[in-house]
Structure 1
Amino acid sequence: MTAIGVDDLQGAGGNWATVGQTSRAGRRVRRQRQKRKGKSVGLRIGTLNVATMTGKGRELADMMERRKVDILCVQETRWKGSKARGIGAGFKLFYYGVDSKRNGVGVALKEEFGRNVLKVKRVSDRVMSLKLEIEGVMLNVVSGYAPQVGCELEEKERFWSELDEVIESIPTGERVVIGADFNGHVGDGNTGDEEVMGRFGVKERNLEGQMVMDFAKRMDMAVVNTYSEKSEEHRVTYKSGGRSTQVDYILCRRGNLKEISDCKVVVGESLARQHRMVVCRMTLMVCKKKRSKIEIEKKTK
């Protein structure tokens, strides 16, 4: 690297004072921009079908801590009841289930976010949602577990109806993130569906995958993990008996897609034998609250 001396700066028509003023002005502009934007809060949000939560509470908490996951939607918990339970390492699991042998959904949170939960809506053993307030921003986290391919059409339609109802009940100005095992393949490529998904699905779409697409279009949502250009191995969320496919997804409102980045499948965890965790980063832009005149007067006095 070539050193720049005083003569070089003067030769360019400048001097030390000018350079210092320019530097200070640049810093001032950057500070003003940051002030206008407000601060941001980064979250790592994921989803995972755990196959069962029995005997896995601490293991799930350790994995979330190790992978730096703040919020995790879980499916097929097979825990009966409607509770919130500490699972260790400062994590709490809100869950709902009606049968200890099948289904069940939940949302696991870091302790600091667990204190911000305003509302828990347990719709069924396939759909539940949490509303959190984070630095003044309302974030709704929905965990879903769609019926498998062999289930009756009536059961599938009931699931989508429940999910529709949850999303429709959330005000449009609030953030929504869905973490779900949809048991469907949205497929590779997005011709005709560019507004709701990216090009990086896996293999061919099936009927259940089309139901995911129809839901995304109805609710103006985007299938987040299809926008990340990864190798197929790092897009696959389910592996069993030589079959590799994508059935676990993260969705958000299309208008908030710019707030989500780095969505990926986590490989190498042994907590779930067949499913892999999908994790993304969400950056919430927090607007600086204006102080009221009363607050200013109190502080002055």
Structure 2
Amino acid sequence: MRRFGLTSSDTMMLRYYEQMNDPATSPSCQQDAHLNVVRGFKSIEEAESNAVRSLDQEARIPAGAPKAEWSKLRHQMHPDSEEGNGKPPLNTCYHENPMNRVPKMQHEIVLEDETPSSDGTQQATVEEQQASTSSTVTNDRTGSKLNESPEADAHTCEWRVQSCMKHTIGTWNVRSMNHRKLEIVKQEMERIDIAILGVSELKWMGMGHFESGNYTIFYAGYEKLRRNGVALIVRSDVAKAIKSYNAKSERVISMRFNGRPINITIIQVYAPMANTEAEELERFYAEVQEEIDHTPKQDVLIIMGDWNATVGNREELGIVGRWGLGYRNEAGERLVQFCEANNLFIANTCFQQPKRRLYTWTSPNGQYRNQIDYIIGRRRWKSSILSAKTRPGSECGTDHKLLISEIKVKLKKNEKAITMPKYNFSNIPEQYKGQIRNRFEALNLVDGEPEERWSEARDIIREECKKTTPLGKRRERPQWMDEETLKKRLKTEGKQKETKTREQQGWSWKQGSTWKF
């Protein structure tokens, strides 16, 4: 085609017109041809812009420059080249004929409010190439830069979709909470990007919840004493996924989140100390057991808090990992038995960390350090917990360290159903008719946009219906089984039971005759 002075875009258009005018071409082939032309033009524009940029950079290098300068330029132009030789990669779009490109079958990346496209991920990649203006894109989490090739764009888009399923949760014994300490805790949550934080030893009275800035606090404590107390501090965007919460007692509070496809239940606890009475310890474990029993078996269950127990570094298969701290005491043995009975595992003993990321409590003189705060999960969803460690740099005037964990779950916003009231239009009052007639006469239905006029008319009808028209009676649904059907059912069951009893006793039945032995 180049002999006749035709460019690559002209060639694409000729092939496109041939396929579109061919009666033998199916509609699906015509659609593919149209998409290929669109992709081809975008690829040509990108190749031309790269060529112009290359010429612009080459013009900046003076004649007779050393080879190292030219090699550096080629490496800048093609950073994806192997071993830094400056050769362009073979998978770049301007080395491939766009008309001969065959879409590859890939896993589609579908967001919550979108439907899968017929062209898979490749179409999204072309759109990202068109929207991007720079040659690099910054990774929000690591700060590194990724090459903006089609493959890099697909990888970046997939990473962003997956990263929205990761949330950081934590637990912290704050040793009493006041307004000033609450602000410090919220600042730490914002700095570390914690979505849900469980608080132990809150020492607040009563039960309830309130909003504070960008967070919602759900708390439970004694009615008349400032002792013990637990709370869950939830970020506002995560709070939209809350299904329910239960302030069980001053030591146990639970919350259930709406997830996709599995719901998440988080329980925050504060266990009694080792020198407390045995009855109080039994009551605490009974309350936690009751919350576990009320949690659906398919939920992702996480129990976290100050357990006042040391499980140590002795490994228990499926329950305690190899990276615990210290030696197991009597309370730790009780906790291990509790986890074994409920099919649970202790997460912060299953990840190898330096010791400063393992201990959660320090004695006042700094001489003793122990691991007594734990994040415990259901073994069925063990892969959902990606990490568990302490943050020694976080301080709020307590002898406990902040224990955080990264979980991989996908939360779903609760959708509120909009129900419109049903009015009784069988007997429309005269007041409604007069008000509608007067307000419609004053309404200018000729000038203006149709959508604005429709909105005004709709609002008038709704307002007058609400003022004057009575609501319709709610239709009662009939019972699914009436008395007559129930009697027939019981009579049939009685006959079946009688027949079965006689057969067991050795009776035989012949058609058209009576029972015979």
Q: TM-score normalised by the shorter chain: which range applies?
A: 0.7 to 0.9
Match of 1:53 among 166, 172, 177: 177
2:166 to 42, 47, 55: 42
What is the distance in 2 between the residues matched to 1:259 and 1:16?
Answer: 41
Counterpart-to-counterpart distance in 1, 2:270 and 2:401: 15
**Residue 54 of structure 1 contacts residue 78 of structure 1 at CA under 8 Å; is this kept in 2?**
no
Higher relative contact order (CA 8 A, sep 6+): 1
Q: Does 1:115 align with 2:228?
A: no
Flag the 1:286–1:180 CA change in 2: closer, same or farther, 3 A.
closer
- Which among 208, 213, 233 is matched to residue 336 of structure 2? 213
Q: Kindly state the Cα deviation for residue 3 of structure 1 after the two structures are TM-superposed.
A: 3.8
Q: CA deviation at 1:186?
A: 0.5
* Partner of residue 299, structure 1: none
Q: 1:125 to 1:286 in 2, by over 3 A?
A: closer
CA RMSD of aligned residues (A): 2.7
Matched, 1:259 2:384: yes
Residue 130 (structure 1) aligned with residue 255 (structure 2) = yes
Q: 1:272 to 1:210 in 2, by over 3 A?
A: farther
> Structure 1: 5+ residue runs without aligned partners?
10-14, 288-301
Give the CA deviation at 1:17: 6.2
Alignment equivalent of 1:145, drawn from 255, 267, 270: 270
- The CA distance in 2 between the partners of 1:178 and 1:229, in whole Å, is 21
Which has more helix, going by share of residues? 2
**Matched ranges for 1:142-291 at <5 A:** 142-190=267-315, 193-240=316-363, 241=365, 242-284=367-409
Identify the match of residue 78 of structure 1 among 181, 196, 203: 203
More strand, by proportion = 1
Change beyond 3 A, Cα 1:2–1:129: closer
Partner SS for 2:263: strand
SS at match of 2:375: strand
Q: Which has the larger radius of gyration?
A: 2
1:197 is displaced (CA, Å) by 1.8
Contact 2:201–2:229 at 8 Å: present in 1 too? yes
Moved over 2 A (4+): 2-6, 15-18, 28-35, 37-40, 134-137
Q: What is the TM-score with the length of structure 1 in the denominator?
A: 0.83
Amino acid corresponding to residue 172 of structure 1 in structure 2:
K
Quote how far apart the aligned CAs of 1:135 are. 4.3
Do the aligned partners of residues 62 and 264 (structure 1) sit closer, same or farther apart at CA in structure 2, a change above 3 Å counting? Answer: same
Deviation digits for residues 95-154 of structure 1 (CA, Å, limit 9, x no counterpart): 000054310011110011223222111111111101111345311110000000110111
Q: Distance in 2 between matches of 1:173 and 1:228?
A: 25
The AA in structure 1 aligned to 2:263 is M
How far 1:87 moved relative to its partner?
Answer: 2.9
Q: Is contact 2:314–2:328 with CA below 8 Å preserved after alignment?
A: no
- In the superposition, the TM-score normalised over structure 2's length comes to 0.49
Return the alpha-carbon distance in structure 2 between the equivalents of residues 131 and 185 of structure 1: 28
1:29 matched residue in structure 2: 106
Aligned partners of 2:402 and 2:242: how far apart in 1? 23
Percentage of matched positions with identical amino acids = 25
Give 2:226's match in structure 1, choosing from 85, 89, 101. Answer: 101
Q: Answer yes or no: is the 8 Å Cα contact 2:346–2:376 preserved in 1.
A: yes
Distance 1:238 1:207 in 2: 18
Counterparts of 1:243 and 1:5 in 2: how far apart (Å)?
60
Look up the equivalent residue of 2:342 and give its one-letter code: M
- 1: CA distance, partners of 2:397 / 2:362: 11
The residue matched to 2:106 in structure 1 has which SS?
helix
